[in-house]
Structure 1
Amino acid sequence: MTFDNNKLMFSVVIPLYNKANHIQRAIDSVLNQNVQNFELIVVNDGSTDGSEKVVEQYVDSRIILINQENGGESAARNRGIKEAQAPYIAFLDADDAWEADFLLTISELITEYPEAGAYATALKTLEVTGEYRSYTYTPLPSYPWKGIIENYFDCLSNGSYPLSSTTTCVRKEVLIKTGNFNRSLRIGPDIDMWIRVFLTTKIAFTTKICAIYYRDAENRSVDIKDFSKKELELIVYLHKYISEPKMTKEYLFFFKKFLSNKLNAITLRYINNNRKQEAMLVLFQHWGLLDFRQKLNVLLRLLLSKKLIDFARKYYA
């Protein structure tokens, strides 16, 4: 497949909310792409810090700024998808950036894997210490590798996330089939979307690093209590895919493993933060999703912690 460099190929969608200190970096990384046949749609989702003013400083007809009332990242991405004019929609977060060859690499994946409807690259994280951290994407081969992801759920069950809201490009026709990003999810609407994408089309991926996730960005601090609650809401919501007709036995095996691993992590996080009642509630409400070892491990942790507390009380009485 060959592409006409003068024909619009990509619609780049950036949801923007209070990222005045970072949006320029994201926009510049798009404008500096080796492939230039794109439009850049920035959806300002009711920013209160003047983020939209940074976008307005650019004089480039390819940049489209849309202002709307605050509705969340999913609402902003959905608006960007609706306004997109190109056949391929690439997503980028306002506080991250692409390497100069991101769109070129995606173009190569489109050419080499015409049967796919979604494409993604690896990324690296710039920590607050200034050090870069790269990732493995088990069970996918290490770099250099590219190909079709045979089982996205196998990746998720291993704690691997080859698709992200900064490294993924999807055919618009596929997004029309999958439907919008879910606005009701407070965390993980992208995971929900990528699951629907995987069940709809093939996904081509390369372990080549073409994007940077910046850990220093504002609004990325995590409240453990709130995070665990939101994550639990996500797992409960995703549980519906167990009855999805397109779920093969192999898909289902790894999907259940992914859910159980998430629930196990939430339960242990509650225990480690001295919130045993909440851990017990999660354990018994979702007993059927945890495997035997996870159940045993959590129960032992609960019992062990109680014994230690009782011992300490007697010792210091």
Structure 2
Amino acid sequence: MFSVVIPLYNKELSIKNTIQSVLDQSFQDLEIVVINDVSTDNSVEVMNVFNDERIRLIHQQNQGVSAARNRGIEEAKFEWIALLDADDLWKQDHLETFVNLIEKYPNHLFFASSFEYSTPRESIINRPGVEDYEIEDYFKESLTEHLVCTDVVVIKKKCFETEKYNEDFVRGEDIDLWTRLARKYKIIKSNKVTAIYRTEAENRSDSNVLDIRKTFFRDVDLSRMKNKFEKKYFKKLMFTKLKYYAVKKEWNNFFYLLRKFI
């Protein structure tokens, strides 16, 4: 039922626990598609400890995480795509939660549960006391909550026939994809926490040191947005980034983004 797509690049300290968290699922109708993006550490050797025919390790030339995820989705055998980063973890009932959601909302194609950080942080529940619900306006509700994270989405494979990860983006490729999909499909959101985002994992990326043209901000055009909440959502993201660039005196990125903002 589920194809679990995991991009792998230099995660030798994490990948074993990540894979094990998938194998430990209470719902077992799955395959695991790991795309090795030419890891230079012992990630592949660590993978060899598993002897499970449901795990497929596919190697590709170093093309980045977006290309790895796109390749994994293309290789997937099942109709439902579940995404997971190579350094994060699922709780045992993660996939079972989505089975129940899919049965409850049979006409929907995009589902998301909730996650928690491995280190203490304040969490926001979008609708306290509600188990699951349809997100009426993704951009409006994203103003107050981080609704979607890679580790907690399940999407029908056919959705990726028209919307794929943008392989030009080094960072923010997930935000770019969620917003494009959210314009087309209603998202069913569960408040149930089923995944753990490991803040202490190795090689966590820092998008702030990059040329902003390599991020999703490159394609943001406020003048073309008809949804007022979509415009407000992106302006909030841009304003936060502008403040950061000003503090760090990264003026090339600052003025490039400022021209978009105004």
TM-score with structure 1 setting the length: 0.77
* Residue in 2 that maps onto 1:161: 146
Contact 1:12 1:39 in 2 (8 A): yes
Indicate the SS of the match to 1:271.
helix
* Residue in 1 that maps onto 2:134: 148
The answer to whether residue 67 in structure 2 is matched with residue 68 in structure 1 is no
- The alpha-carbon distance between structure 1 residues 264 and 134, as it changes in their structure 2 partners (threshold 3 A), is closer
- The alpha-carbon distance between structure 1 residues 234 and 221, as it changes in their structure 2 partners (threshold 3 A), is closer
| Alignment counterpart, residue 187 of structure 2, candidates 188, 191, 203 | 203
- The alpha-carbon distance between structure 1 residues 270 and 103, as it changes in their structure 2 partners (threshold 3 A), is same
In 1, Cα distance between equivalents of 2:128 and 2:6: 29
In 2, Cα distance between equivalents of 1:53 and 1:204: 38
| Alignment counterpart, residue 182 of structure 1, candidates 157, 162, 166 | 166
Moved over 4 A (4+): 276-280
* Residue in 2 that maps onto 1:267: 242
Per-residue deviation, 1:145: 2.7
In 1, Cα distance between equivalents of 2:109 and 2:38: 32
Indicate the SS of the match to 2:142.
helix
Contact 1:74 1:181 in 2 (8 A): yes
Q: Deviations over 1:216-265 (max 9, x none)?
A: 111126374x15x438842231328x64xxx7x5xx11111112112211
- Give the number of aligned pairs: 262
CA RMSD of aligned residues (A): 2.2
* Residue in 2 that maps onto 1:117: 109
Per-residue deviation, 1:175: 1.5
The answer to whether residue 82 in structure 2 is matched with residue 96 in structure 1 is no
Q: Which amino acid aligns with 2:9?
A: Y
Indicate the SS of the match to 1:286.
helix
Contact 2:242 2:258 in 1 (8 A): no
- The alpha-carbon distance between structure 1 residues 279 and 176, as it changes in their structure 2 partners (threshold 3 A), is closer
In 2, Cα distance between equivalents of 1:279 and 1:182: 20
- The alpha-carbon distance between structure 1 residues 111 and 70, as it changes in their structure 2 partners (threshold 3 A), is same
Indicate the SS of the match to 1:215.
coil
* Residue in 2 that maps onto 1:285: 259
Point out the structure with the larger helix share.
1
Per-residue deviation, 1:186: 1.5
Per-residue deviation, 1:98: 0.3
Per-residue deviation, 1:156: 2.9
Contact 1:117 1:170 in 2 (8 A): yes
Aligned-pair identity (%): 35
For structure 1, the 5+ residue unaligned runs are 1-8, 289-317
- The alpha-carbon distance between structure 1 residues 231 and 135, as it changes in their structure 2 partners (threshold 3 A), is farther
Q: Which has the higher contact order (CA 8 A, sep 6+)?
A: 2
In 2, Cα distance between equivalents of 1:204 and 1:268: 33
Greater gyration radius: 1
Per-residue deviation, 1:134: 5.3
Contact 1:121 1:208 in 2 (8 A): yes
* Residue in 2 that maps onto 1:217: 201
TM-score with structure 2 setting the length: 0.92
Q: Deviations over 1:169-208 (max 9, x none)?
A: 1001112132x21110111111111112212222111011
Q: Deviations over 1:68-109 (max 9, x none)?
A: 111111111111101101010100000000000000001111
Indicate the SS of the match to 2:59.
strand
In 2, Cα distance between equivalents of 1:74 and 1:276: 26
